[in-house]
Amino acid sequence: MKRVKIALVQQTCCDDRQANLAKSAELIHKAAAAGAELVVLQELHAGLYFCQVEDPTLFDQAESIPGPSCELLGNLARKLGVVIVSSLFERRAPGLYHNTAVVFEKDGSIAGTYRKMHIPDDPGFYEKFYFTPGDLGFTPIKTSVGTLGVLVCWDQWYPEGARLMAMAGADLLIYPTAIGWDPADSQDEKERQRDAWIISQRGHAVSNGLPVLAVNRVGFESSADVSACGIQFWGSSFVAGPQGEILAEASRDCEEILLTEVDLERSETVRRIWPFLRDRRIDAYGDIVKRYRD
């Protein structure tokens, strides 16, 4: 266990896939030059957030894993000697697609994958149309910088996923994200939503005694539905320590590389004074697997 220098890449995206990937590559280069050992990219960083509408032609954006983006990112990981957490639209088989995080080891190999488990279906976020829920479970991915509990966006609202990753030995909880405001919302509503997003993930850090890395996209993306307002992604990528303390936070409206250092040994210290795992009443939690207690 050690201190790990991490970088969260918060970027805008456009409708040019190659331009987005080139920008991600450029920012990964800069992060590595600044000393980052672990670089985390935002959700679906290769393109616009296409789930604002339901359109069968958009499935054409998906790719196999491994595939072209994996080759690019694997080569970068090997060249720069960094671990990279990416987020891709996976074509698993005809008619079967996932929202998948891929982790690349420093030698360029794929250390592991995670398929998004919780899939939203809300105005502007029609992900159930595109993504099959993950079937790989909540399994941390072992890398040279630590064991990574990678989850994706909507997963961040569910304490169960964070807990299961922690119970399986994760050293870090990582959430690539694409979340933003409806521009028509009031300013008070926007602040409540952003605060809830931050609070929920800081809560995962506290209840599990683990650092949390949350990386969000930034900028306005219009919708193909002319009656919709589009999404203003609020950035605000952040790193929290195992007591929920904010170690670093990015802006709401700018592209940037958020750099900080995380002490992985601190989790042991925190868990000794706040032994939540010790005091869990596992004998009384059977109803947690029910949809609702009537």
* Residues belonging to the active site: 43, 116, 153
Cα separation, 270 vs 259, in Å, equals 23
Q: What is the DSSP letter of 206?
A: H
Inter-residue contact 264 to 2 (CB < 8 Å): yes
Cα separation, 73 vs 79, in Å, equals 10
Q: Which amino acid is at 274?
A: W
Helix count and strand count (H, E) for the chain? 5, 17
Tokens of 177: 């994200």
Asked if omega into 275 is within 30° of 0 (cis), the reply is no
User: Does residue 23 sit in helix, strand or coil?
Assistant: helix
Q: Give the up-direction half-sphere exposure of residue 108: CA atoms within 13 A in the CB hemisphere.
A: 9
